[in-house]
Amino acid sequence: DDADDADDADDADDAEGKEQQIALVEGRVRPEIYEALIGAQPGETRTVTVTYGDEEEDESLRGQSATYTLTVKNVQERLLPDWEELPTLTEFEGDIDAMRQNARERLERAAEDKARRALIDEFLNKLGEETSFEIPEAMVQERAQELFHQQVSEFQRYGIDEDQFLKLSNKTHDEAVAEFMGQAEPDVRRSLIVREVIRREGLTVNDEDFEAENERFLQDFDAERRDEVRKMLAQPNMRQMVASAALDRKLRDRLVALATGEVVAQAREERQMETDSNTPATSDLPQPAVQSDIATGGVTENSVFDDPGPDPTAVAGTSSVEQATTADYGQQRTSSDLDEAAGSAGSNEA
């Protein structure tokens, strides 16, 4: 009787099924399971038949077929650290709980940064679509040259110079540069838009911003290296890089605020306060996002290229780095670039 009860209990467990976490990675689960679960959402049920081959480790399964009913409880995304972060994780000092907390914070920051970049890219793309302006051909040509030389630099790491690269590509210099013209035009367009946003929003870098960015760079190095890095950051070209990074940070924060409507909400609140106190408004309401209304001639009514009034760069004490920008706005400087940048006196990337 006890044996029968045990068998009945096992049958009940089989009927209810077992909850199991599956890492849906091709090659790590059976192909039938992988194909069945791709695209499945929480609450969905999929049925799949698995045929076990003669090479199966469990001899009792060889040559057998089994049908599984899979119900998805939840779906999670696994975020892995970047390759550059692995040394930091492997050399981490502390217990396992502290390491997990550190890794969790890093992954959360990475996810947040990814979402911010996507928001900024979408905002700038929409701004570019809704804004019409002429782009000088010389600027596009210059950007194409830059992209070509960037590619050549990548090959130079493997001992292939420009002449060898062109020979391997079976192209002339002009033909190789021409292939980048399609990428260069949107790069220049975005560069001009970013530069105009900086001007319109009056974004500048003061001493406090500079020192804060300087400290951020230093925090990425071990304590014993910080004095060495601090001297490196005092070099003129490195100071320019730090100032550009500080401006880039302010620009990104401002673009997120514009894209999410924080700026217009704040402006409305300020205007309401001015109205309540019978104080006339001193400035027009900022336009936080691109509108769909198209003005005559294809230029949006809320174009960033409308006349903004007095140039904010004329304010005394404004840093000249505010005019620095890069066509490839999606690229950011990190502390790992310091040694390379220190060796290039002409490095003035934003």
Window from 7-16, 59-68, 116-125, 134-143 with minimum mean pLDDT: 7-16
Which structure tokens are listed for 36? 């069945």
pLDDT at 163 over 50: yes
How far is it, in rounded angstroms, from Cα 221 to Cα 224? 8
pTM beyond 0.75: no
| Mean pLDDT calculated for residue range 214-219 | 89
- Rank 98-112, 202-216, 265-279, 301-315 by mean pLDDT and report only the highest: 202-216
Decide: helix, strand or coil at residue 300: strand
Average pLDDT over residues 76-103: 69
DSSP letters spanning 241-290:
HHHHHHHHHHHHHHHHHHHHTHHHHHHHHHHHHHHHTTPPP-SPPP--S-
Residue 60: exposed, middle, or buried by beta-carbon count in 10 A (0-12, 13-18, 19+)?
A: exposed
Q: Could you tell me whether strands 65-71 and 45-51 are parallel, antiparallel, or unpaired per DSSP bridges?
A: antiparallel
pLDDT at 88 over 80: no
Q: Any bridge partners for residue 49, and if so which? A: 67
Question: Do the Cβ atoms of 46 and 40 come closer than 8 Å?
Answer: yes
- Which pLDDT score, from 0 to 100, does residue 199 have? 92
CA 202 to chain centre: 24
Lowest mean pLDDT: which of 20-29, 240-249, 339-348? 339-348
